[in-house]
Amino acid sequence: MANISKKVSWSGRGDDRGERTPLLNGAEDGKYNRHVLHFVFQSLDYDNSENQLFLEEERRMSHMGFRCLETRRWVICGLIGFLTGLIACLIDIAVEKLAGYKYSAVKQNIEKFTEFGGLSISLILWAVLNSAFVMVGAIAVAFFEPIAAGSGIPQIKCYLNGVKIPRVVRLKTLAIKVFGVICSVAGGLAVGKEGPMIHSGAVVAAGVSQGRSTSLKKDFKIFEYFRRDTEKRDFVSAGAAAGVSAAFGAPVGGVLFSLEEGASFWNQMLTWRIFFASMISTFTLNFFLSIYHGKPGELSSPGLINFGRFDGDYNLYEIPLFIIMGALGGVLGALFNVINYWLTIFRIRYIHRPCLQVMEAMLVAAVTATVSFAMIYFSNDCQPLGQDNTEEYSLQLFCADGEYNSMATAFFNTPERSVRSLFHNPPGSYNPLTLGVFTLAYFVLAVWTYGLTVSAGVFIPSLLIGAAWGRLFGILLSTITSSQSIWADPGKYALIGAAAQLGGIVRMTLSLTVILVEATGSVTYGFPIMLVLITAKIVGDYFIEGLYDVHIKLQSVPFLHWEAPPTSHWLTAREVMSSPVTCFNRVEKVGRIVDVLSNTSCHSYKYRKICGLILRSQLIVLLKHKVFVERASSRLSHRKLQLKDFRDAYPRFPPIQSIHVSQDERECMMDLTEFMNPTPYTVPQETSLPRVFKLFRALGLRHLVVVDNENGVVGLVTRKDLARYHLGKDGLEELHLAQT
Amino acid sequence: MANISKKVSWSGRGDDRGERTPLLNGAEDGKYNRHVLHFVFQSLDYDNSENQLFLEEERRMSHMGFRCLETRRWVICGLIGFLTGLIACLIDIAVEKLAGYKYSAVKQNIEKFTEFGGLSISLILWAVLNSAFVMVGAIAVAFFEPIAAGSGIPQIKCYLNGVKIPRVVRLKTLAIKVFGVICSVAGGLAVGKEGPMIHSGAVVAAGVSQGRSTSLKKDFKIFEYFRRDTEKRDFVSAGAAAGVSAAFGAPVGGVLFSLEEGASFWNQMLTWRIFFASMISTFTLNFFLSIYHGKPGELSSPGLINFGRFDGDYNLYEIPLFIIMGALGGVLGALFNVINYWLTIFRIRYIHRPCLQVMEAMLVAAVTATVSFAMIYFSNDCQPLGQDNTEEYSLQLFCADGEYNSMATAFFNTPERSVRSLFHNPPGSYNPLTLGVFTLAYFVLAVWTYGLTVSAGVFIPSLLIGAAWGRLFGILLSTITSSQSIWADPGKYALIGAAAQLGGIVRMTLSLTVILVEATGSVTYGFPIMLVLITAKIVGDYFIEGLYDVHIKLQSVPFLHWEAPPTSHWLTAREVMSSPVTCFNRVEKVGRIVDVLSNTSCHSYKYRKICGLILRSQLIVLLKHKVFVERASSRLSHRKLQLKDFRDAYPRFPPIQSIHVSQDERECMMDLTEFMNPTPYTVPQETSLPRVFKLFRALGLRHLVVVDNENGVVGLVTRKDLARYHLGKDGLEELHLAQT
């Protein structure tokens, strides 16, 4: 029959039932297979479902209507920037205060016991304080919201890539994240507060743009137009950028971060909005911090990190040295990632119970304090207290009066301040041996710390390690060469070392260059920083991927890279696609739809022609509202469904089990015509994988229908089908799909 | 018949016959219609034609092969950066030298005649020198390569947008451009050398990446793989970025410029390469300039423009003032564009003969000299010569000894130096009246100059106008308010004014912010500059588009914006597409192909199913190589055609007239199977315009086939079909297509 038109439906498995998050605890049954992709991760739909309802709404809207929408988008971006800035401010002040109390208490204690002996009591005090802070943070994370663990950058990277990760942008996640990061930084772990800021920004964006909180069951009835994946993802990009901007005082860096990690389709207006959010965020943070610091209105200080300004100069002769440092950073970064990779696998296998996770975090906190204490205790590197001393908690310990222990400046301090000291303290502030030992100790601590069940970032520890060995490099250089004048400034090498180490670990280049340039306020060093980052990336990539990619892979997320593997031209859509596809008639029996969605019956009919695409979530909304046509009469008794009904259910669509359909209703029919997308993107079966990939990635699709010569549906390409293929050591490799 | 498969061919009209360039001289017959799109502009094909030959080559290539290609891409980008830097260096030094000679001669003359009277002789000397320089430049442009006129940014913007503009990236264009810009800057016109730098970078990229020069008939037999639109366009992006980078010392700004103007699909590796080219370009320029200035190895000075560093600070209270300045910049910028718009229409109508164009350019040069002279002569604003005086050609004129004429610093100088003086000279260096008169005079001159048949940019004149009124604003402010301390620095307002004026004229935001931040080396001013640019854009867009867009529209280029007009959802592919489409059989008679390509017979058969897409250029190569199958035998007598044959013919495919096909050959058949792209992107007829637009723009397509339910070809969407619809004052408007 020629005039029976058919329709494709895709029943996503596992996306609305029991949203267990496998992130960071991939396999809780003790078994862990590294080469799988999890079915729990769904794609975000960056392509609008252009069904009749949607088109009618768009066509009704006037030119002014679109203007209003655009204005609203700007307002939302402003709000995102403002709130992200506020949160950054809150984190900063809370960490400062708590760390201040802690260090003051420990310092007093140490000073008391330095004279009388019995410094072990100080050590215990320090270790207990650290562990207590970390315990509170780890409990919050491990028991209440495991997704809040870590820096959050891998998760946001996945989200921007188009992977829907359960619970990643919820309000609860935000609360636990903020609370957790304050605890872990105050607890003296080798962590930074920057990664979590980025995650926080993303959550703020996802919340504000929807005009409601599903968790709090509060709907403000605003911004309803934006309740779909397309719009939400755009706003989350802006939120992530605002987070970077607040964290590093780097608005342009923030925009580039979002683009480098997320955007596939670059839209000028969107980029401007992202930039606007970033700018507002830095501005808000600076404004409130200037009030807090008692200098209201002085806006020129940058974000959370103030690396201070580099006014120095570099010379042509130094460029080979910078490249060598870049290579060194690449090697050290790769080492970091390899160790952390094995550690993470160990953790996934053996430390997956929350209480064990909390105990590990406390152990690390105690060890960190002990190592720090031992290093300070055994080093006898005394430096004179200068006039322009920026150390807030300088320890005299066994040094003479008017001197301080230079190891303590590195350990007895928040990591941000230590980085700044390494960048800017005058030549001669550090003993080479001190720096060497510090680098080693901090490297081990940082590797161990990343991946703990605490909310914490890896940027600052990486910078600190790099700054330490970079400064060491600079000192050694000036010792070797006689011409003091040129190599005089070890701070410069600390900066380059920091860039090399961070680049070696995370492998970002463009955005990281800009972030570092903005954070240090020195455009001059842009070129060497870029050279160093590119070298670090090339060298590091030879051994292992970047840290975030390692963790994404460990979590079996179907992450799509920028392009299909170059050697994949021999694969075609026919080989890549999933089939058979579940098809419905344009007017289908309710019973069959329910059965298919409940997975009780999955056999598909052999249909000829595609006439549209409908989503599981849309079918569920239709079932819920009982949009049925009785068999006998074609009279429509039900209320006409509107886009609003779909938006209200977004994004947490009810599971099929919660919808009750009586036996009578099962015999009714459902007319899907006005709800399906009649013009889905399609490709012929012979299309090569790179071509399919390009279409899928550029348009941010969730499903791509594969058709034959007659326009008949033969298969469906989804994210997993494409993410499966990746370039291994011996050419193209294929990952398995996990069935859970 | 079910098994007759069909194929679509599209015969582009006018792309390889008589490449008349209508750019800047749109209608030479005296008639000019503003609302048309020209057929002479073809799309670049950003989508590879994945025919059998292509796939075979890709499949043959090993993993190492792709690595080599990637390495080659990096090498090319390095070369592009290096050569662009060198050219920038050449331009800079040539302009410095020539302007130096000129100003020294005029200065000596003026000094001689100031005492004895008879300054009119000095005026004549100045005017003649200016006119002579400009004449040489204008003759080169008007008679030898009209496309080299103007800043080149509109052309590059179009190229990056995917429009193939005839002759825009040829070697001859580069030579004339460089020569022209040196002449026009040395000739004292109100122009800058930055826009042409961007064009130069693009030409360098297009040349280097192809490994040959068609003009010089020299083929180096390297980089043959990159001889197609996809790769070439990527390299041209890098070249444009390198140009910006060299011009402003802004590598990140360069990358953002390329992305803001060109990229639709953001690819991380591509972006890094672009960034690399930018960095190398700045580096090369700085390196050679440091040698030229006798301080080899001092690399920290930025690009061609050195705006000097802003270390100042701003306050919260100043932000509303900045926004007001932004609005003012928007209004003045719109005024600039409106006047220039009418002037350009006047020029297109009446000044289209080359000799008239040269005469106009000379007239402007003479008037510029006269106005400058008059302003200097009649102003009696004498300022004491400071210690840190940066003016190289300070004129004493009628001032007392130890003083200089401050109007002369603004006029008797290259515009770059004037901008720097306005930014950094200490408060009190300028009299408000001087600045006011200067702003007015320079505004008129700059409006008149842009669009002349000389090679020249508009960035620097815009900055200069803005800096002048901005400084005036600052001075007035400090006069009004009593608190001298806060508003003391008029240089800050000069910077903001410059940003506002430039933003009001060109309407770039993100990239311009970064360019200005990098050029001034002050991250601090990022936020106010962004605010000002966004305000200027919003205000300016209310009146008229940006200057480049105005010129693009005047030249009837089918430019695709970022998104389809929002109110275009009621249009579908059926209404938008061009039809009928010329179709061929999979195996077609040679005679019919020749007839169709020669336009002698254009009737199309009604075919049922699409089986591929073939380009006019491919057919021509096939005809040229006589890939015919004799009717009787299916034996292939000809050499098997390879991709290399297509690459050798790229990009200047011979016209159909040059191919001779005998009467016997006309009866032969051509088998198109392995040359056509069997999997072109298709859309159903009911697809809405925004959806079609998104697909077309995101993938950089040249043709999009519209099919019916049966996969039969019903039409073809090209760039013109989409560019036709734009948002006018009263909603959606449709442009006409010019048939010439």
Q: How confident is the model at residue A394 (pLDDT cuts 50, 70, 90)?
A: low
Residue A81: which residues within 8 A CB-CB, separation 6 or more? A238, A242, A245, A276, A277, A278, A279, A280, A281, A283, A284
Alpha carbon B501 to its chain centroid, in Å, reads 20
Distances in Å between the Cα of A173 and the Cα atoms of A155, A199, A200, B593 are: 12, 9, 9, 65
Q: In whole angstroms, what is the distance from residue B599 CA to residue B9 CA?
A: 13
Residues A508-527, mean pLDDT to the nearest whole number: 81
Residue B5 tokens, joined:
């498969």
Residue B425 tokens, joined:
């000279």
Q: Name the most confidently modeled range: A292-306, B362-376, B644-658.
A: B362-376
Helix (H, G, I), strand (E, B) or coil at B266: coil
Contact A546, A341 (CB under 8 A): no
Q: Which residues of B touch A710 (CB under 8 A)?
A: 710-711
Residues B191-198, mean pLDDT to the nearest whole number: 88
Contact A303, A246 (CB under 8 A): yes
Q: Which residues of B touch A686 (CB under 8 A)?
A: 678-679
Is the per-residue pLDDT at A391 higher than 70?
no
Q: In whole angstroms, what is the distance from residue A542 CA to residue A550 CA?
A: 14
- Looking from the CA of B314 toward its CB, the CA atoms found within 13 Å total 24
At residue A713, what are phi and psi to the nearest 5 degrees?
-75, 125
Residue A720 tokens, joined:
């997993």
Q: In whole angstroms, what is the distance from residue B147 CA to residue B21 CA?
A: 7
The model's pLDDT over A650-707, given as tens digits with 9 standing for 90+, comes to: 877 888 888 888 888 888 888 888 888 888 899 999 899 999 998 988 888 888 999 8
Whether the CA torsion B239, B244, B250, B254 is positive or negative: it is negative
- Let me know if A105 is exposed, middle or buried by CB neighbors in 10 A (0-12, 13-18, 19+): middle
Q: In whole angstroms, what is the distance from residue A570 CA to residue A576 CA?
A: 11
Do A678 and B698 lie within an 8 Å CB cutoff?
Answer: no
Q: Which residues of A touch B567 (CB under 8 A)?
A: 61-63, 66
Complex ipTM, two decimals?
0.88
Q: Which CATH class is domain A70-292?
A: mainly alpha
Q: Which of B112, B156, B163 is nearest to B395 (CA)?
A: B112
Residue A325 tokens, joined:
């440092």
Q: How confident is the model at residue B119 (pLDDT cuts 50, 70, 90)?
A: confident
Interface residue B530 vs chain A (CB under 8 A)? yes
pLDDT at B17: 33
Whether the CA torsion B581, B586, B587, B590 is positive or negative: it is positive
Q: Which of A695, A697, A715, A698 is nearest to A706 (CA)?
A: A715
Residue of B513, B679, B714 for testing the chain A interface, max A β-carbons within 10 Å: B679
Whether the CA torsion B504, B510, B515, B520 is positive or negative: it is positive
Taking CA B8 as the corner, what is the angle to CA B3 and CA B13, rounded to the nearest 5 degrees? 160
Do B265 and A266 lie within an 8 Å CB cutoff?
Answer: yes
Angle between helices A459-480 and A432-449 (to 10 degrees): 160
Contact B500, B457 (CB under 8 A): no
Q: In whole angstroms, what is the distance from residue A46 CA to residue A40 CA?
A: 18
pLDDT at B78: 94
Q: Which residues of B touch A268 (CB under 8 A)?
A: 260, 562
> What b/e string do you get for B660-686 counting C-beta neighbours within 10 Å, with b at 16 or more?
ebeeebeebbbbbebbbbbbbbbbbbb
Residue B444: which residues within 8 A CB-CB, separation 6 or more? none
Residue of A5, A61, A74, A265 for testing the chain B interface, max B β-carbons within 10 Å: A265
Residue B734 is given by DSSP the state E
Q: How confident is the model at residue A27 (pLDDT cuts 50, 70, 90)?
A: very low
**Mean pLDDT for all residues in chain A:** 82
Interface residue A61 vs chain B (CB under 8 A)? yes
Q: Which of B447, B454, B425 is nearest to B24 (CA)?
A: B454
Interface residue B316 vs chain A (CB under 8 A)? yes
Residue B653 is given by DSSP the state P
Q: How far is B514 from chain A (nearest CA, A)?
A: 8
The shortest CB-CB distance from A570 to any of B59, B260, B727 is to B59
Q: Which CATH architecture has domain A316-352+414-552?
A: Orthogonal Bundle (1.10)
Distances in Å between the Cα of B91 and the Cα atoms of B94, B193, B246, B310, B375 are: 5, 8, 11, 26, 29
Q: Which residues of B touch A569 (CB under 8 A)?
A: 55, 58-59
The C-alpha torsion from B165 through B166 and B168 to B174, rounded to 10°, is 180
Is the per-residue pLDDT at B617 higher than 90?
no
Residue A160 tokens, joined:
């921007």
Helix (H, G, I), strand (E, B) or coil at B506: helix
Q: Which residues of B touch A510 (CB under 8 A)?
A: 252, 255, 271-272, 275
Do A299 and B314 lie within an 8 Å CB cutoff?
Answer: yes
Whether the CA torsion A423, A425, A428, A430 is positive or negative: it is negative
DSSP B233-264: HHHHHHHHHHHHHHHHT-HHHHHHHHHHHT-S
Tell me the percentage of chain A whose pLDDT exceeds 90.
25
Within this chain, domains B6-41+561-737 and B318-554 share the same CATH topology? no
Angle between helices A319-350 and A526-543 (to 10 degrees): 40
Q: Is domain B6-41+561-737 classified as CATH 3.10.580.10?
A: yes
Q: How far is A446 from chain B (nearest CA, A)?
A: 28
Amino acid at A232: K
Q: Which of A397-401, A548-552, B276-280 has the lowest mean pLDDT?
A: A397-401
Tell me the percentage of chain B whose pLDDT exceeds 70.
85
Residue found by looking up tokens 């137009």 in the block: A225
Q: How confident is the model at residue B638 (pLDDT cuts 50, 70, 90)?
A: low
SS (H, E, C) A632-683: CCCCCCCCCCCHHHHHHHCCCCCCHHHCCCCHHHHCCEEECCCCCECCCCEE
Q: Count chain A–chain B contacts defined by CB atoms under 8 A.
A: 200
CATH of domain A6-40+561-737: 3.10.580.10
**In terms of CATH, what superfamily is B318-554?**
Clc chloride channel (1.10.3080.10)
Distances in Å between the Cα of A134 and the Cα atoms of A131, A174, A183, A344 are: 5, 18, 6, 19
Do B63 and A513 lie within an 8 Å CB cutoff?
Answer: no
Residue of A57, A280, A711 for testing the chain B interface, max B β-carbons within 10 Å: A711
Interface residue B300 vs chain A (CB under 8 A)? yes
Q: Which residue of B has its CA nearest to A687?
A: B679
At residue B457, what are phi and psi to the nearest 5 degrees?
-105, 165
Q: Which of A242, A247, A243, A211 is nearest to A226 (CA)?
A: A211
The C-alpha torsion from A278 through A284 and A287 to A290, rounded to 10°, is -90
Q: Which residue of B has its CA nearest to A259?
A: B266
Region label for B414, one of left (φ > 0), alpha (ψ between -120 and 50) or beta (otherwise): beta
Residue B68: which residues within 8 A CB-CB, separation 6 or more? none
Per DSSP bridges, beta strands A212-213 and A218-219 are: antiparallel
Q: Which residue of A has its CA nearest to B278?
A: A527
Do B260 and A279 lie within an 8 Å CB cutoff?
Answer: no
The model's pLDDT over B291-324, given as tens digits with 9 standing for 90+, comes to: 888 776 666 555 556 676 676 677 777 889 999 9
Window 265-284 of A, Cβ < 8 Å to B: 265-269, 271-272, 275-276, 279, 282-283
Do B314 and A300 lie within an 8 Å CB cutoff?
Answer: yes
pLDDT at B305: 61
- Looking from the CA of A429 toward its CB, the CA atoms found within 13 Å total 28
Interface residue A252 vs chain B (CB under 8 A)? yes
Residues A479-506, mean pLDDT to the nearest whole number: 81
Do A300 and B313 lie within an 8 Å CB cutoff?
Answer: yes
CATH of B78-292, one of 1.10.3720.10, 1.10.3080.10, 3.40.50.920, 2.60.40.1730: 1.10.3080.10
Q: Which residues of B touch A248 (CB under 8 A)?
A: none
Q: In whole angstroms, what is the distance from residue A346 CA to residue A338 CA?
A: 12
Q: Which residue of A has its CA nearest to B527?
A: A279
pLDDT at A487: 57
Q: Which residues of B touch A271 (CB under 8 A)?
A: 260, 510
The model's pLDDT over A247-294, given as tens digits with 9 standing for 90+, comes to: 888 888 898 888 887 766 667 788 889 989 998 998 888 888 888 887
Contact B211, B170 (CB under 8 A): no
Do A268 and B279 lie within an 8 Å CB cutoff?
Answer: no
Q: In whole angstroms, what is the distance from residue A439 CA to residue A471 CA?
A: 10
Distances in Å between the Cα of B183 and the Cα atoms of B29, B357, B460 are: 30, 15, 16
Q: Which residues of A touch B533 (CB under 8 A)?
A: none
Q: How far is A247 from chain B (nearest CA, A)?
A: 15
Window 153-182 of B, Cβ < 8 Å to A: none
Is the per-residue pLDDT at B414 higher than 70?
yes
Interface residue A62 vs chain B (CB under 8 A)? yes
Interface residue B248 vs chain A (CB under 8 A)? no
Count of CB atoms situated within 10 Å of the CB of B474? 25
Q: For chain A, which residues make up each domain, given as ranges?
A: 6-40+561-737, 70-292, 316-352+414-552
Q: How confident is the model at residue B629 (pLDDT cuts 50, 70, 90)?
A: confident
Q: Which residues of B touch A528 (CB under 8 A)?
A: none
Do B316 and A302 lie within an 8 Å CB cutoff?
Answer: no
Residue B162 tokens, joined:
């995917």
The shortest CB-CB distance from A684 to any of B526, B679, B710 is to B679
Distances in Å between the Cα of B433 and the Cα atoms of B377, B379, B410, B473 are: 14, 9, 13, 12
Residue B561: which residues within 8 A CB-CB, separation 6 or more? B726
Helix then strand then coil, % of chain B, to nearest 5: 55, 10, 35
pLDDT at A29: 40
Instruction: Report the run of H or E that residue B704 belongs to, with start and end.
Output: strand B703-707
Asked if omega into A651 is within 30° of 0 (cis), the reply is yes
Q: Which residues of A touch B238 (CB under 8 A)?
A: none
Residue found by looking up tokens 């690390």 in the block: A364
Do A275 and B569 lie within an 8 Å CB cutoff?
Answer: no
Residue A250 tokens, joined:
């780097």
The model's pLDDT over A464-473, given as tens digits with 9 standing for 90+, comes to: 999 999 999 9
Q: In whole angstroms, what is the distance from residue B576 CA to residue B514 CA?
A: 39
Q: Which residues of A touch B302 (CB under 8 A)?
A: 523
Do B259 and A266 lie within an 8 Å CB cutoff?
Answer: yes
- Let me know if A659 is exposed, middle or buried by CB neighbors in 10 A (0-12, 13-18, 19+): middle
Q: Which residue of B has its CA nearest to A269?
A: B562
SS (H, E, C) A471-512: HHHHHHHHHHCCCCCCCCCHHHHHHHHHHHHHHHHHCCCHHH
The model's pLDDT over A39-63, given as tens digits with 9 standing for 90+, comes to: 677 788 888 888 888 888 888 888 8
Higher pLDDT, B402 or A328: A328
Q: Which residues of B touch A683 (CB under 8 A)?
A: 679, 681
Do A523 and B521 lie within an 8 Å CB cutoff?
Answer: yes
The model's pLDDT over B561-616, given as tens digits with 9 standing for 90+, comes to: 888 888 888 889 998 888 788 888 888 888 888 888 887 555 555 566 888 888 88
Do B50 and A688 lie within an 8 Å CB cutoff?
Answer: yes
Q: How far is A530 from chain B (nearest CA, A)?
A: 8
Interface residue A298 vs chain B (CB under 8 A)? yes
